[in-house]
Amino acid sequence: MPTTEFDAQRKIANRLRRASGQLTAVITAIEAGASCRDVVTQLAAVSSAIDRAGFVLVSTAMKDCVDNPAKTAETQDGLTIDELQKLFLMLA
């Protein structure tokens, strides 16, 4: 695995870990009776973190596909540019 792919995976995993921690904080806030404003603010942060992780994941795959389509077809579950575009649009 190239270093850049490893770095991208590490960044995605870190984003999702942060989102997991934020989600735990949202649940705790709800259970503690926190204000609606505080809960929604924290929930928006979780949603944004998850969305950004998805965009990084798909954009990294798209970059790999454009840079080396033959190799990507073998290593990215055979994802085509059209399939990657559909995945990207699913996040929008």
**Contact by Cβ (8 Å): 58, 84:** yes
pLDDT band per the 50, 70, 90 thresholds, residue 71? low
Give the pLDDT confidence of 16-51 residue by residue, as tens digits.
999 999 999 999 999 999 999 999 999 999 999 999
- Is CATH 3.30.160.110 the classification given to domain 3-91? no
Neighbours of 21 (CB within 10 A): 12
Q: What pLDDT is recorded for position 33? A: 96
pTM here is 0.72
Distance, CA of 26 to chain centre: 19
Does residue 62 or residue 1 have the better pLDDT? 62
